Structure 1
Amino acid sequence: MSPKSPPPPSAPQRRPSTFRALMRLRPYAKPAIPRIVLGAVAALAAAVVALLIPAVLQLLVDGPLSSGDRAQVWPAFAVVLGLGIVEAVMIGLRRRLVLTPSTHVEASMRNSLYAKLQDLPVAFHDRWQSGQLLSRSVSDLSLIRRWLAFGVVLLVVNVLTIVVGFAVLFFYSWALALLFMVASMPVFFVSFAFEKRYSIVARRSQDQVGDLATSVEQSVHGIRVLKAFGRGKHSLDEFAKQADDLRGTEIEKAQAISRLWLWLLLVPDVAFALCLLGGIWLAADGQLTVGQLFAFFATATVLRWPVESIGFLLSMTFDTRTAADRFFEVLDSENAITDPAEPVTIEAPEGRLEFADAHFRYQDSPAQYPDLVNGVDLVVEPGETMALVGLTGSGKTTLLALVSRLYDVTGGGVRIDGVDVRDLSRQELRRLVGMAFEDATLFSASVRDNVLLGRPDLADDPAEADRVMREALEIAQADFVDRLPDGVDTRVGEEGLSLSGGQRQRLALARAVAARPAILVLDDPLSALDVDTEARVEAGLRRVLASTTSLIVAHRPSTVTLADRVALLENGRVTAVGTHSDLLATNEHYRWVISSLDDDTTPAREEVLA
């Protein structure tokens, strides 16, 4: 299993019936149900009209055609033509009624899924493949829409048509109708047996589609790496293997459907042949008129499509059931990071940040493994800048993520101005805390939209928004934006990959600065900058950090110079806190950590910072 595959259920659970699984769609489909029902009524009316045509033909055969009265043929022709027109109108009305509301259902479900994905914690996205989520939000929901607009309507209508049609057949000849019904029974037994086999294969197919989408996404995003290392052929081989697995599953699905179609086509033909023999004998014996025999077979012909359609309608229904299961797997995912019932509001934040015996470990971590954050006690006073220093894996980035509840502590607490962050609403907390990450992610939007992402309050004040943006860009030394084709209105590429790493980091830093948070959390946001640019950015940051509480992960000795104090992390614990000079003088491990970092301080740099 891929490390980011959907997690399997913790314990085997009884799979709900197809009906119960599909009934979970009812809250989303409820607004569309009236028009779907009207569409079904229109389709049923079309089917009833189709069943009336054989009755007219019976009268035509037993009447004018048998007597030779040609004058009566034209009225019968007009009636059949009229019934055909009514049937066509009803079919068109059915399509018109159901197509539009089904698209609204799809849009509503997609919005719910997207909102849920935005609400779920980072830990959820760590476990799930993005391709699996993408396939659920696109192909699965599209399948559900088609089933609502087409599958469920025709399935219900065709079953009712079969029932009504058999009643009509019994009206013409109970003996032939009974023979036809008994001969057709294998179709229904085969259809029910088909569900168990097909549903398993259908689920495997849809999961493999998600895996394939993930492979495509990873290859596109990592195209530079694949090309740089000449691994395009390897990636193609892996993709081809997954595609071949999916092809095999699709063939297995096709084989299951073909076996069903064998019975759906063979059984009615056998039933027709037996009824033809019986009908000729009854007509020769005088128990059935030629017109009745003709109407019986005309009605049976009308029923042939509803009977044959059961196969693909059932397969479509089982595919939809699997799609619904996959959709609700995401919606049923538990979100442990939620807003409190009665959230606290910090009216005038000072920015005091405190870690009180904070612990964190992943839920699936083996019991013998130590916590990633293992009892951190640390206080950052209002307006103070604290640098976090430690070896790789010491817990620096994880500790930062606890501040804004990207992850929740599993022990102890994190407090802002004496209030536990879990007592704040997530919106309030993320208004107070701004973050910039080492791996700067930008969105496929304009530079302006990326920088002002954290300031929705400025949407109605363009002048103030422009001032805040320009100030943030100046602090981040992101003046390169004015040299872009459309300046700050230039649309950056997907994930900002049209920009260099340093340019992305500077825009991400500008985004954090523009948010004007009470607490600024920076995860080594300057790692991709050259020495001189970093010095200018740090000079600008000093103005911001003078009044903002800041917690900065430092991977360069030069970044430590921004801090008032430094906290040393070892194996998830803070083992020393003090100024840079004090720790150099008193802590051997700190000297070792600092010496392991690249010291790129130059005279030119020192001049900029002076």
Structure 2
Amino acid sequence: MLFRRFESMIDIFQESPASAPPDRVLPFYVYYLRQVWPSFAALLVVGLIGALIEVALFPYLSRLIDLAQSSGSGQRFFSEHGHELLWMAVVILILRPIFLTLHDLLVHQTINPGMTSMIRWQNHNYVLRQSLGFFQNDFAGRIAQRIMQTGNSLRDSAVQAVDALWHVLIYAVSSLVLFAEADWRLMIPLIVWIVGYLFCLYYFVPRVKSRSAVSSAARSRLMGCIVDGYTNIATLKLFAHTDLERQYAREAITEQTEKTQLASRLVTGMDVSITIMNGLLIVSTTGLALWLWSQSLISVGAIALATGLVIRLVNMSGWIMWVVNGIFENIGMVQDGLNTISQPVSVTDRPLAPKLQVREGAVSFENLHFNYGKGRAVIDGLNLAIRPGEKIGLIGPSGAGKSTLVNLLLRLYDLNGGRIIIDGQNIAEVSQESLRAGIGMITQDTSLLHRSIRENLLYGRPGASDAELWQAIHRARADEFIPMLSDAEGRTGLDAHVGERGVKLSGGQRQRIAIARVLLKDAPILIMDEATSALDSEVEAAIQESLEVLMRGKTVIAIAHRLSTIAKMDRLVVMNEGRIAEIGSHSELLSRQGLYARLWQYQTGGFVGVD
């Protein structure tokens, strides 16, 4: 019950307070810390009381020695000071364990798991909203590692800062006060040591932070390289380039090691400097205390106090230096992470954007301009009107802009100029979720999630019943292989997992799953990027009827090359260099002897009749 109370203090899945995290380190910390401020406020109070209790033990030790010296006998000692001894026993046996336990509960049950998971959840949600280009320009493994490490690093540095804050303030101030009470001259070595200690922090810590950020970036790159190799293991094997991949990883590991070694040099230099200073502090303080005692200026208890506090400070100084170093190393990692996480989302919804209402399925491209942020236009002044229920085939050489046009319709990128209208609604003014919910798409290179067949299919319609699921499976002819599937953990049929990107299935099986998923979605606008290219001729022929049923009553845009697909289209739109070169039916375009006729001749090789 006690554990559960502390574990529920932070709501892991709370909504983030702003649309985007700040892109600077301090505001980035504040952004997350203010969401869990009650937990950190409690940690500050508990840490303060715990530090005060720890410091109180040293003057008590000094007083105990002096009282023992001044008492004539043991019996008198206990009778005169029994209440004081009892009170200190209560402090040591009850209060100290209580506050140490509260500290551990707040750190290990509340902040460590709760805050870390909250940061990861919010960062993951934000990154999911990024455009397609964001993920195409980075390693998936590096993005994932930055999301994972940023939560850990931010939490660790914040907790360490709170712990170090009270220990530094309480021990430094208390030591000066207690030394002053014994003899002001005992303060001199400690003041000199504090100044030297602060100088070491001032010199070393910013340099450690800077090199840690560089080391973290190298580590993220290494992770990206390794994950990229594992993700594309089939390509690595097929081209027999294991040695090349090893060299690629070797270079990344070498870079990461060198950057870590540079940061470690500073850590070693800092450690040596503090060790020398600590030795000087112990010798000077103890020697000075003995001299003052020899002059009858302080008591034996004061020697014990000074020596005990100094040794405690020395031990703590190493811990604090490592903590401070860890704090700034973690800050470096956070800085590396926020460079990825806090990038602005390039494709955003307008405030209170309405949902797209697809009533008929009319699509209009009006004076489109787009260039992927580069100089040369990929789409240049394109105009095209598609009537409700019309089936359009997009034809053209590689690089003509066919896939780009489809991506713009899905608003995976924002236009540089022009607009796209669906049933009178500008797609830039409606929510992206509703836009993509109204469009079904079957791609040439189908990628499945590493989950069960059922979960992959239900992406089409999460609330579909098993009967609807199996109807879509049957229409896509996927029922021929799904019941026979199994995975390494013994799951079969719809529960079998398909592997990363669906690698456990053949290309044709993945494509039939994709078709079943779109059948289940049943969106009014359908995009097909050579939907049957991965199927053999027999399977393709078997599901043509299903595709015809799927296309019935829908507005269809198909990036088409094969005759079987082209024959089903009402109009063919031939694209070249981002513009529309020709529009017409198959026979009309062949009769013009233009670009389409040449492409058709290349495809058939002169062996297939064109009539």
Same fold (TM over 0.5): yes
Gaps of 5+ in 2: 1-21, 487-491
- Equivalent-residue separation in structure 1 for 2:243 and 2:76 (angstroms): 76
Counterpart among 33, 38, 43 of residue 34 in structure 1: 38
- Equivalent-residue separation in structure 2 for 1:133 and 1:31 (angstroms): 24
Structure 1 pair 176/310, CA: closer, same or farther in 2 (3 Å)? same
Q: What is aligned with 2:471?
A: 471
Please show how residues 228-377 of structure 1 align to structure 2 within 5 Å.
228-341=238-351, 343-347=353-357, 349-363=359-373, 365=374, 367=375, 369=376, 371-377=377-383
Gaps of 5+ in 1: 1-15, 459-463, 604-610
Counterpart among 101, 112, 128 of residue 138 in structure 2: 128
Matched, 1:482 2:483: yes
- Could you tell me whether the CA contact under 8 Å between 1:257 and 1:311 is conserved in 2? no
- Could you tell me whether the CA contact under 8 Å between 2:164 and 2:320 is conserved in 1? no
Counterpart among 437, 447, 467 of residue 431 in structure 1: 437
Q: What is aligned with 2:102?
A: 93
Q: How many residues align?
A: 576
Give 1:80 deviation, angstroms.
Answer: 5.9
**What residue identity is the alignment partner of 2:478?**
A
Matched, 1:546 2:552: yes
Give 1:137 deviation, angstroms.
Answer: 1.4
Structure 1 pair 582/474, CA: closer, same or farther in 2 (3 Å)? farther
Give 1:450 deviation, angstroms.
Answer: 0.9
Counterpart among 200, 209, 234 of residue 199 in structure 1: 209
Give 1:579 deviation, angstroms.
Answer: 0.8
TM-superposition CA deviations, 1:15-39 (whole Å, max 9, x none): x99xx83453234223433232323
Give 1:431 deviation, angstroms.
Answer: 1.6
- Equivalent-residue separation in structure 1 for 2:101 and 2:310 (angstroms): 24
Q: What is aligned with 1:24?
A: 28
TM-score by length of 2: 0.88
Q: What is aligned with 1:411?
A: 417
Q: What is aligned with 2:8?
A: none
Q: What is aligned with 2:10?
A: none
Q: What is aligned with 2:19?
A: none
Counterpart among 188, 193, 199 of residue 183 in structure 1: 193
Give 1:68 deviation, angstroms.
Answer: 5.5
Please show how residues 502-581 of structure 1 align to structure 2 within 5 Å.
502-581=508-587
- Could you tell me whether the CA contact under 8 Å between 1:386 and 1:552 is conserved in 2? yes
Structure 1 pair 513/242, CA: closer, same or farther in 2 (3 Å)? same
**What residue identity is the alignment partner of 1:290?**
V
Please show how residues 595-610 of structure 1 align to structure 2 within 5 Å.
595-597=601-603
TM-superposition CA deviations, 1:96-146 (whole Å, max 9, x none): 123233122212211111111111111222222222211111122112222
- Equivalent-residue separation in structure 1 for 2:607 and 2:485 (angstroms): 30
- Equivalent-residue separation in structure 2 for 1:600 and 1:322 (angstroms): 63
- Equivalent-residue separation in structure 1 for 2:76 and 2:451 (angstroms): 73
SS in 1 for 2:243: helix
Please show how residues 383-422 of structure 1 align to structure 2 within 5 Å.
383-422=389-428
Give the root-mean-square deviation of aligned CA atoms. Answer: 2.5
Q: What is aligned with 2:224?
A: 214
Give 1:331 deviation, angstroms.
Answer: 4.4
- Equivalent-residue separation in structure 1 for 2:193 and 2:179 (angstroms): 14
Give 1:344 deviation, angstroms.
Answer: 4.4
Structure 1 pair 159/587, CA: closer, same or farther in 2 (3 Å)? farther
- Equivalent-residue separation in structure 2 for 1:342 and 1:294 (angstroms): 70
TM-superposition CA deviations, 1:392-428 (whole Å, max 9, x none): 1111111111111011221111111122111221122
**What residue identity is the alignment partner of 1:168?**
L
Give 1:158 deviation, angstroms.
Answer: 2.9
TM-superposition CA deviations, 1:519-541 (whole Å, max 9, x none): 10111222211112122222321
Matched, 1:55 2:55: no
- Equivalent-residue separation in structure 1 for 2:212 and 2:354 (angstroms): 48
- Could you tell me whether the CA contact under 8 Å between 1:50 and 1:84 is conserved in 2? no
Structure 1 pair 169/514, CA: closer, same or farther in 2 (3 Å)? same
Matched, 1:497 2:503: yes
Structure 1 pair 138/230, CA: closer, same or farther in 2 (3 Å)? same
- Could you tell me whether the CA contact under 8 Å between 1:349 and 1:417 is conserved in 2? yes
- Equivalent-residue separation in structure 2 for 1:498 and 1:87 (angstroms): 58
- Could you tell me whether the CA contact under 8 Å between 1:518 and 1:548 is conserved in 2? yes
Give 1:342 deviation, angstroms.
Answer: 5.0
Q: What is aligned with 1:10?
A: none
Q: What is aligned with 1:12?
A: none
Which range moves more in the overlay, 85-94 or 255-264?
Answer: 85-94
TM-superposition CA deviations, 1:24-70 (whole Å, max 9, x none): 32342234332323233333323222222222222232232465623
Structure 1 pair 283/48, CA: closer, same or farther in 2 (3 Å)? same
